[in-house]
Each structure stands twice: as structure tokens, then as C-alpha cells.
Amino acid sequence: SGRAVVIGASHAGAQLSAQLRSSGWDGDIVLIGDEPYLPYHRPPMSKTYLADTVGIDDLLIRGTEFYDKQNIRVRRARVERIDRAEQRVVLSDGESLSYDRLALCTGARPVRLGIPGAELRGVYYLRTAEDVEAIRADVPGSRRAVIVGGGYIGLETAASLRKLGLDVTVVEAADRVLQRVTAPEVSDFFRRIHEAEGVHIRTDAAVVGFEGDDGTGRVAAVRLADGEMVPADFVIVGIGVRPNVELAHEAGLAVDDGIVVDAQGRTSDPRITAAGDCVTYHDVRYGKTRLESVPSAGEQAKVAAATMCGKETTISALPWFWSDQYDLKLQIAGLNTGYDTVVLRGDPTTDREFACFYLRAGELIAADCVNRPQEFMFSKRVLAQSLPVDRDALADLDVPIASQLA
Ligand code: FAD
């Protein structure tokens, strides 16, 4: 079967390499990544790796022995270029490697703020273990942290920094946190929880610049559009990600937001597959979709590996995601794009557990479940099998959720 080269050594790349072996690829497998660690779990970066004393060794997806035993060569380098005509990839250290099959698992990177002061020391982004290590080194000498962006990563980071005893302000340009991803009821819930934990939340607050501490080159405050200055010993910016599509684009592969793949994970070049955060595909229920989720990256990687081994499977997995903040476990099934109705089960204005169901033309398309694992399982099942739901029963805590599946 020759040589399989996988670019990007994180959730998608690690899963894809492992799956290639178990699907019967008996030639070389080379997994190339530009981070200094073996593939590690990224979700803990804003959670335990930031807030607790876990080491990176505790977060590796698989240990060294696994790659040795499976004869998967892990190569630390950056891929600079793909030469499709020659079927080679060119690395930053000058080496070039030929491939018979290639997989792109290049993921995504944080959107950068291009505003005055963005280059000051103490202005961070949070994606990699190295990002977190730099932030952690700043914590002991700091009292006040400002987080720009009230999305999942911003809110998780706020919870972690509170745990470390910092005074935390979240600054969000929209009129509510989680505005892009949840219903207003869910946004209000998370605002209430964070404020009860002592986090300051500023909505309708656009950041226009960072002010330095005279002469030190370090950030000292965040400037808002209305002129107000919010003091900060350091800042973490979490305003979304962009897929890493440049390699694919320069190689002439189809790109539309992410790298375009078919239901078998193939790009516009049949020798090249792609999986994970860098990928756009057509979902039967949700249309054009690019997901940023560990379970989806794993699922897409499995499909791509099977395709590389000449086996046909298709991407059919249901999108799902989770977020941990304080003692709360939010689990999300499906995508709520285009919902017309929200049904609440439980009261998010008073409780610490509830489910928010999203309906479109009477059909369930997504659910946000806070400390409600049964409602999450139920929603996954309904979505996977396109089952009908009864609005009144969904809202009625006296009707057991599972009884609707009967
Ligand atoms: P990535 O993890 O982005 O990995 C891509 C890798 O490729 C990187 O190591 C990158 O450096 C490397 N690379 C890129 N270009 C090249 C190149 N040219 N040469 C060599 N290497 C290259 N998801 C959840 O489901 N639940 C959560 O709770 C959750 N929490 C998160 C918290 C944080 C702080 C972050 C940042 C993300 C979180 N996510 C969560 C999202 C999840 O981490 C991503 O969906 C997942 O990491 C996607 O995996 P991936 O392999 O596609 O891409």
C-alpha cells in the first residue's frame, strides 16, 4: 500500500493514523506535526491544563509506546508545501517525503485581533499547550485578567482563572455571551452562573485597543469603544478560529471556508483526504458544515482512513460537543442553525440543570443540555433516527424523557 503521510498531529491526525493501521494499511505511516508534543487532548487547555496541575503527559491521546508498536513514525516539522504532481510534501527543515496517500488534518488557529497594542506582551491566544504554559507563567504575578470574547473558550477560561483566584472580566462585543451558538435563555443562564462566581461580564463592549504599561511593553489595560479602560495584568483573546487551509489552497484543492471533502472524506484530489476542524462537508440535515469538535474530528478521521485503505464508509455521525464550566457539564447534540422554536425543560433562571431543545418546523434539530445527560442521550437518539417529538412532553418534567422513545 506504500506510504501514507498525515499532516497535523492532533485529534484528527492521531485518530486517522491509528485507524489506518487497524483498517489494514501495512506500508509506512508518517504523522507530521509542528507542535513540540505528541498529540494531546486539546479541550483541557482551557480547563484542567490551565486551572490544575496536570502535566502534558497526563493529556497525551496515546503514549510513545503506541506509535512504536503500531510502527507510526511521528515527525516534528512543519509542512511548507504539497507537490501533487510529484506526490511529495516539502518540510520546513528541507526534507521532502513522497506519499501514495495524503491526509490533511491541519485544524484551525485563533482569529487574531488587528488593533493597536495587539503586539504587547501579556496579550495571549489560547489554542496550544505552549499558549497555556505561557499564560500559566503569568498567573502568579497577576491579579486581574481580561478575556476578550464570551464564547465557550472564553467562558471556560474565565471559570479556570477564577479557580486560580484571579479577578476576571469577560468583554463581549455582542449583546449576550454565547450569542453565536445558543438561545438567549442559555446565554442568560451562563451569565447568571458566572456572575455568581464573581466574574464581571461586559456585553455590548467592543475592544478597540490595548494600552501598555509605560515603557515595559506589557499590557496594562483594554480600551473599549466607548473610551473606557479596563485594567488588565494579562489578556486572553478568544474570538473564534480560522481553518488552516493555506496548504490545501496553494496545492489547488477546493476550499470553501474549510477544505472541501465528500462524504468519504476525499478532497478534490482522490489521493488526498482531510478531517477535523479544517474540513467543510455537506451534511444531509444541516447543509454546508464545518465543525469544531473532538468527536467530529475523530469520526471524520475514521472515515478518511477507511477511504485511504480503499474501504467505503460515509460521514454520517451526528455533530455533538461539550463544555465544562465550574460544576456544570453542558452537552450539545446537533446544530441549532435556523431553529424557529425553543422548548425549555427545567428553569434556567433558577436551576443548575435544564435542557434547551431547538426545533425547526416541528422537528428537533439540536439540544443544549446542562447537567442533564438523559436529555442529551435522548436528543442524540432522536436526531440520529429523525424521530418525531412532542413539544408539550419535552417541556414537562413530570413526563420521563425516555417515555417519548417508546
Ligand atoms: P487541531 O487540534 O487544530 O490540530 C491541528 C494540528 O495540525 C495542530 O497541532 C497544528 O499545529 C498542526 N498543523 C497545522 N498545519 C500544519 C503544517 N503545515 N505542518 C505541520 N503541522 C501542522 N472540542 C470539544 O469537542 N469539546 C471541548 O470541550 C472543546 N474544548 C476546547 C477548548 C479549547 C481551548 C480549544 C482550543 C478547543 C476546544 N475544542 C473542544 C475543539 C477541539 O479541540 C477541536 O475541535 C479539535 O482539536 C480539532 O482537532 P484537529 O486535529 O482537527 O485540529
Report the alpha-carbon distance of residue 205 to residue 171 in Å, rounded.
Answer: 6
Question: Ligand 1 in contact with 42 (CB < 6 A)?
Answer: yes
For residue 14, the ligand 1 atom closest to its alpha carbon is: 51
Whether 157 lines ligand 1, by a CB cut-off of 6 Å, is: no
Ligand 1 centroid – CA 2 distance (Å): 28
pLDDT at 215: 82
d(CA 406, CA 399): 12
Answer yes or no: are the C-beta atoms of 61 and 301 closer than 8 Å: no
Distance CA(381)–CA(378), nearest Å, equals 5
Instruction: For ligand 1, say whether the CB of 191 is within 6 Å of any of its atoms.
Output: no
pLDDT in the model for residue 405: 85
Alpha carbon nearest to ligand 1 atom 12, residue: 8
46 lines ligand 1 (CB under 6 A): yes
- Centroid of ligand 1 to alpha carbon of 25 (angstroms): 25
| pLDDT, one tens digit for every residue, the chain (406 residues) | 799 999 999 999 999 999 999 999 999 999 999 999 999 999 999 999 999 889 999 999 999 999 999 999 999 999 999 999 999 999 999 999 999 999 999 999 999 999 999 999 999 999 999 999 999 999 999 999 999 999 999 999 999 999 999 999 999 999 999 999 999 999 999 999 999 999 999 999 999 999 998 888 999 999 999 999 999 999 999 999 999 999 999 999 999 999 999 999 999 999 999 999 999 999 988 999 999 999 999 999 999 999 999 998 887 779 999 999 999 999 999 999 999 999 999 999 999 999 999 999 999 999 999 999 999 999 999 999 999 999 999 999 999 999 988 7
DSSP string, 333-395: EE--TT--EEEEES-TTT-S-EEEEEEETTEEEEEEEES-HHHHHHHHHHHHHT----HHHHH
Angle between helices 294-308 and 11-22 (to 10 degrees): 40
Q: Which residues touch 267 (CB under 8 Å, ≥6 apart)?
A: 104, 248, 253, 254, 259, 260, 261, 273, 274
Contact 189, 354 (CB under 8 A): yes
ipTM of the predicted structure?
Answer: 0.99
Q: Please state the φ and ψ torsions of residue 369, each to the nearest 5 degrees.
A: -120, 120
127: Cα separation from own chain's centroid: 9
CA of 38 to the centre of ligand 1 (A): 13
Q: What is the pLDDT at residue 315?
A: 74
CA distance 237 to 118: 10
Measured between alpha carbons, how far is 229 from 220 in angstroms, rounded to an integer? 9
Residue 80 CB–ligand 1 contact under 6 Å: no
- Atom of ligand 1 lying closest to residue 321 CA: 25
- Ligand 1 pocket, residue 79 CB under 6 Å: yes
Cα-to-centroid distance, 105 and ligand 1 (Å): 9
Please name the residue whose Cα sits nearest to atom 37 of ligand 1.
43
Quick check: CB of 33 below 6 Å from ligand 1?
yes
Evaluate whether 49 touches 13 at the Cβ level (below 8 Å). Answer: no
Q: Rounded CA gap, 248 and 257, in Å?
A: 12
pLDDT for position 249: 98
Q: 278 and 298 in contact (C-beta within 8 Å)?
A: no
Record the pTM: 0.96
Q: Return the ligand 1 atom nearest residue 128 CA.
A: 36
Q: Which atom of ligand 1 is nearest to the CA of 127?
A: 36
**β-strands 234-237, 229-231: how paired?**
unpaired
Using most ligand atoms within 8 A of CB, pick from 5, 7, 10, 318 the residue to mutate for ligand 1.
10
Backbone angle region of 151, left / alpha / beta, with phi > 0 → left and psi within -120 to 50 → alpha: beta
Nearest CA residue ID for atom 32, ligand 1 = 43
Bridge partners of 144, per DSSP, are 167
First vs last C-alpha separation in the chain: 48
What is the pLDDT at residue 406?
73
277 lines ligand 1 (CB under 6 A): yes
What is the structure's pLDDT at 5? Answer: 98
Nearest CA to ligand 1 atom 38: 43
Place of cell 493501521: 21
> Cα–Cα distances in Å, from 57 out to 12, 32, 33, 41, 305?
19, 19, 17, 10, 26
Q: What is the pLDDT of residue 213?
A: 86
Does the C-beta of 334 come closer than 6 Å to ligand 1?
no
Q: Is the CB of 322 under 6 A from ligand 1?
A: yes
E-strand stretches of 177-275 = 200-202, 207-213, 218-224, 229-231, 234-237, 241-243, 255-256, 258-260, 272-274
Type of residue found at 222? V
